[in-house]
Amino acid sequence: MAADAVDDDASTRYSSGTGQAPGQYLTVDLGTSRRLRQVVFDTGASTGDYPRGYAVDASVDGAHWVVAVSDGHGTGQFATVNLHGQRARYIRITLTASAPENWWSVADVRAYVS
């Protein structure tokens, strides 16, 4: 369940339930627009379920998106995205690479403000 990625409990998680494929995505609503320094996507205990390739977009309204990262490459438990003060309420991470043998999991999303 997607809500498990933002429930402040790293023992629960969002999981794709299938191998990673380009186009799978997760959108997080931070509740209010704020200037973000960094967002961290944490796989929790499912350390092999990190995104092999990803893009991250930010939006203040959920309709108009700005590319924050176009070619991110995961290497482990944490996918850290620097946003350099970008104003956003919504953050969307989209997979851009295949990993058919690995699910994609997000146990926790942490946003750090500027």
Which structure tokens are listed for 83? 């946003």
Give the helix, strand, coil percentages of the chain, each rounded to 5.
5, 55, 40
The rounded mean pLDDT for the chain is: 92
pLDDT at 13: 87
Fold for the domain defined by 2-113:
Jelly Rolls (2.60.120)
Domain boundaries along the sequence of the chain: 2-113
Q: Could you report the per-residue pLDDT of 92-106, keeping only the tens digit for each?
A: 999 999 999 999 999
pLDDT at 44 over 70: yes
Comparing CA positions, the residue from 83, 79, 48 lying closest to residue 66 is: 83
Arithmetic mean of pLDDT, 27-51 = 94
pLDDT at 4: 60
Comparing CA positions, the residue from 26, 33, 34, 31 lying closest to residue 3 is: 26
Give, as one character, the DSSP assignment of residue 60: S
The pTM (predicted TM-score) of the whole model is: 0.91
Arithmetic mean of pLDDT, 30-36 = 95
Q: Could you report the per-residue pLDDT of 10-27, keeping only the tens digit for each?
A: 777 888 999 999 999 999
The DSSP string of 65-84 is -EEEEEEE---SSEEEEEEE
